[in-house]
Chain A
Amino acid sequence: MVKKQVARVWEWVIERLIHIAGVMGIILVILIFYFLLQNSLAMFGERSLGQLILGQRWSPTHKEGFFGMLPLILGSLYVTVGALVLSVPLGVAAAIFIAEIASPRAREVLKPAVELLAAIPSVVFGFLGLLLVGPWFADRFDAIQVGQFAALGSLMLCFMALPTIVSICEDALHSVPREIFNSSLALGATRWQTITRALIPAARSGIIAACLLGLGRAIGETMTVLMVTGNAQVMPEGLKGFIKPIRTMTATIAAEMGETPYGTTHFHALFAIGLFLFIITFAVNTIADIVIRRSEKDIA
């Protein structure tokens, strides 16, 4: 009797613990937001939100302390836009190739191979950019003075965003019902016409979601951009900004937090950047999720 009761209490405890673990994801998102907010609030007492986001100068160790995030925001924007311009066309094309043109056997090799690319640590991409790819560009093009510049960050990020884009796009294309494909062919369309006019429109939401997730990945990438984009907190100007050194938001946190004393304005400013990044990626991922859900509904 007692043994049975102990077992019942034990089971009750275990099931409570499982429930707590289940909602852990929500608790964590709230905790991360709370800690970022709490540690950046002190910043807003000293500088206004406008000064922080639109200020054109970031030099926190200057004795007056300039905490203008605009150069860093633009730096992130340059690197991310560049990465998407490269990786979206390549990624979507590669996904179409894997889903529709490659033989089933080639598909079985190509897809895991692309996904394996996602496993390579970002510090390794940074290392390759710094030691190999950057100097290669600087040696060959006179316009590029230093082997560390915005577009190099975009190029390295392109390879890191590709696995996400290819994999999710390919899933979206693959989940389009075969009837659509076959009826288009039966109507006399070529395979290419079928792909562009039936398959891609049907998989549109999934493809958009894939690009959004690639965007999220690119904007939050830290070590690679820290190592290859030159660490210059200047305002990038026009198209030339792509071949000049810049500094992204993520790289600023990674480069400066290690040497910043706890509790200083500088410390809070870095948390404010983190909060800003968190809000951006949260929005991007939530929109991507809504788009994916809609596409699942469309197909069903």
Chain B
Amino acid sequence: MNGSRKQLIDPRIAEKIAFAGLWAVMVVVAVPVVGIIGYMLYRGAAALSWELVSSVEAGLLPAIAGTAYLVSLTALVAAPIGVGAAIYLSEYARPGPLLRMIRLAIINLAGVPSVVYGLFGLAAFVILFGWDRCLLAGSCTLALLVLPLVISASEEALRQVPQGLREGSLALGASKWQTIRRVVLPNALPGIITGMILSIARAAGETAPILFTAAFYSLSDPFPDSLLDPVIAMPYQLFVMATEEPDVEPATMWATAFVLVALVLGLNLVATVIRSRLRRRRW
């Protein structure tokens, strides 16, 4: 194509220079990332103590409990809708404009800014439904946010179940739903669970969606008594400590950041390991 183009430098030398440049980029990307995260883990681990994690007044216990409540409820709300949608997409949907619209909608849901989910949660759950700022409103908002993630992970898992298993079940006289319920879902379960773990990790780290739907910061009554009570969550506590509370010990902040990152990365690692095992599975 460029036969007439003059070669300014020997292409082999150009290649050496370019590859060296790419190596340099990889280092530039990797070193600060590893460095910064390593530094945070180092500072945070040094500040970590059993007292800090387990005490209510100076500690993280209310935030850890609040995040646990939030993400459990989020998973409970997101799982049936997300897995249902995935079953529709992999087992029922026919190619056509409707399917095209559904895919476009899911892609766009994944790209909606998290603070906009917060606004939606505020308008729908907090104000319209009258739930006020609470655990339930926050979990429903987070559930919508992770829904695209749940759907795409579950759909991938369902599609990996070989067609032959479905045909075998149908040939034995089972109905379509019986086939899905007894054959397809059990085989796809590990993949679906992986998707749920990733969703929980995502929900655990989000701050903007719970900012005006669930979160509060109070050490006098830190534990929610019901679904309609507000909660303290780890990311929110980190945000408040870093921006609004001048007297917080830096050690407490670093420890909070450490626990949050360790939790989120830990969940992701678990999911990655399960996923790579699944990819190697033979049918």
Contacts and interface: CB of A to CB of B under 8 A. Distances in A.
A123 B238 contact: yes
Contacts of B32: 159
A22 B235 contact: no
B92 A18 contact: yes
Given A35-B124, A253-B115, A282-B108, A121 B22 contact: no
A111 B108 CA distance: 24
A49 interface: no
B112 A26 contact: no
Residue with the greatest number of chain B CB neighbours at <10 A, chosen from A90, A190, A216: A190
A270 interface: yes
Interface string B118-139: 1110111001000000000000
Contacts of B161: none
A90 B104 contact: no
Judged by DSSP, the binding face of B is: helix
B69 to A, nearest CB: 18
A213 B148 CA distance: 15
A190 B191 CA distance: 41
A102 to B, nearest CB: 8
B76 interface: no
B156 interface: no
Given A90-B28, A124-B261, A132-B39, A159 B33 contact: yes
A262 B128 CA distance: 11
Interface string B10-26: 01101100110111011
B39 A126 contact: no
Q: How extensive is the interface on chain A, given as a class?
A: 35 or more
Interface stretch (A60-68, A137-145, A219-227, A239-247): A219-227
A119 B120 contact: no
B59 to A, nearest CB: 18
Contacts of A282: 108, 111-112
A123 to B, nearest CB: 4
A122 B205 contact: yes
Contacts of A196: 18
A30 B217 CA distance: 33
A223 B239 contact: yes
Contacts of A117: 33
A196 B40 CA distance: 38
Contacts of A29: 105, 108-109
Interface stretch (B49-57, B219-227, B264-272): B264-272
B89 A22 contact: yes
Interface string B130-164: 00000000000000100110010000000000000
B261 to A, nearest CB: 6
Contacts of A258: 211-212
Contacts of B239: 123, 126-127, 223, 227
A93 B25 contact: yes
B4 interface: no
A270 B177 CA distance: 46
Contacts of B117: 32
Given A18-B84, A29-B109, A222-B113, A101 B212 contact: no
B58 interface: no
A274 B205 contact: no
A128 interface: yes
Interface residues of B, number: 92
A132 B112 CA distance: 29
Contacts of B28: 90
Contact of A36 (B12, B119, B177): B119
A274 B18 contact: no
Contact of B112 (A18, A94, A96, A220): A220
A21 B120 contact: no
A6 B210 CA distance: 42
A22 B257 contact: no
22 contacts: A11-B177, A20-B84, A24-B147, A25-B106, A26-B105, A32-B112, A90-B29, A112-B272, A119-B205, A119-B264, A119-B268, A121-B204, A124-B261, A132-B40, A159-B33, A192-B18, A222-B114, A223-B207, A254-B115, A271-B119, A282-B112, A284-B111
Interface of A: 11, 14-15, 17-26, 28-29, 31-32, 35-36, 38-39, 89-90, 93-94, 96-97, 101, 110, 112-114, 116-117, 119-124, 126-128, 130-133, 159, 162, 189-193, 196-197, 213, 216-217, 219-223, 227, 250, 253-254, 257-258, 262, 270-271, 274, 277-278, 281-282, 284-286, 289
Given A18-B87, A220-B111, A253-B118, 17 more contacts: A21-B81, A21-B85, A22-B92, A26-B105, A28-B105, A29-B105, A35-B123, A97-B22, A116-B272, A120-B205, A220-B114, A223-B239, A250-B115, A257-B118, A257-B212, A270-B119, A281-B113
